[in-house]
């Protein structure tokens, strides 16, 4: 059986003056991806809990909140209260990762861990059994529209091997440079939740682009399953 392929458009690429309209355009997606940046961990400053709360009131899609911040240990409760359905925190920023992951899950929210491009998959050895999601950054965090880092592909394969060794199957998310030019290779390497910002919201028809990406991803997943059967 092949993985279900899910698409999470990132509002980092949205004209915020038309946020409600943009969210309506992607109502066929699986998640809304919200990149929270603090200007410390990343060289950019973006959204906070009020944006999560605003999106919660504008869409029925679940909210995938990606905390690219230096103090998630302290601020995770803000995003839970604001309505996040899935929260991912960076391995590089959390002092007590197991504690934060288990706190998020105890609050009824899916919990995930994110790895920057230069952080190896082996760092997940002692947390992989506890997470609902693992996200690999395929660009350096900070800005939308960056080019896909090819080294993500072997990292995805290593992550699938680690999951297999532990007998777990978290969602495997990839964020950065996802487009029709990259999605098939990313899914073939093991991803099943794809964040796409500029590819979706820069398209003439965002809804059609969501469907195109999902169709391409499902085709790659089916091929992967056939090859490994």
Any idea which residues carry the catalytic annotation?
35, 175
Nearest Cα residue to 55 out of 77, 26, 95? 26
What DSSP state is assigned to residue 18?
G
- Distance separating alpha carbons of residues 71 and 101, to the nearest angstrom: 14
- Distance separating alpha carbons of residues 191 and 171, to the nearest angstrom: 8
- Distance separating alpha carbons of residues 214 and 218, to the nearest angstrom: 6
Q: What contacts 88, CB < 8 A, 6 or more positions away?
A: 64, 65, 66, 67, 111, 112, 113, 114, 133, 135, 173
- Distance separating alpha carbons of residues 33 and 142, to the nearest angstrom: 14
Contact 22, 206 (CB under 8 A): yes
Q: Kindly report each contact of residues 55-60 with a partner whose C-beta sits within 8 Å and lies 24 or more positions away, as own/partner.
A: 55/11, 55/19, 55/23, 55/83, 56/82, 56/83, 58/19, 58/20, 58/23, 59/23, 59/24, 59/27, 59/32, 60/27
């Amino acid at each position: 059986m092949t993985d279900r392929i899910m698409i999470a458009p990132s509002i980092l690429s949205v004209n915020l003056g038309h946020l409600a309209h943009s969210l309506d355009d992607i109502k066929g997606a699986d998640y809304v991806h919200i990149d929270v940046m603090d200007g410390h961990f990343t060289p950019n400053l973006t959204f906070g809990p009020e944006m999560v709360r605003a999106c919660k009131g504008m869409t029925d899609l679940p909210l995938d909140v990606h905390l690219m911040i230096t103090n998630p240990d302290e601020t995770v409760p803000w995003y839970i209260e604001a309505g996040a359905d899935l929260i991912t925190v960076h391995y590089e920023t959390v002092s007590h990762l197991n504690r934060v992951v288990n706190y998020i899950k105890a609050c009824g929210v899916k919990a995930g861990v994110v790895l920057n491009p230069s952080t190896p998959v082996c760092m997940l050895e002692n947390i992989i059994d506890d997470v609902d999601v693992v996200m690999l950054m395929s660009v350096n965090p900070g800005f939308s529209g960056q080019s896909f880092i090819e080294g993500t592909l072997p990292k995805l394969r290593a992550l699938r091997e680690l999951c297999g060794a532990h007998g777990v199957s978290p969602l495997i998310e990839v964020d950065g440079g996802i487009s029709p030019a990259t999605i098939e290779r990313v899914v073939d390497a093991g991803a099943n939740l794809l964040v796409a910002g500029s590819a979706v919201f820069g398209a003439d028809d965002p809804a059609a682009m969501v469907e195109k990406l999902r169709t391409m991803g499902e085709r790659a997943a089916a091929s992967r399953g056939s090859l490994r059967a």
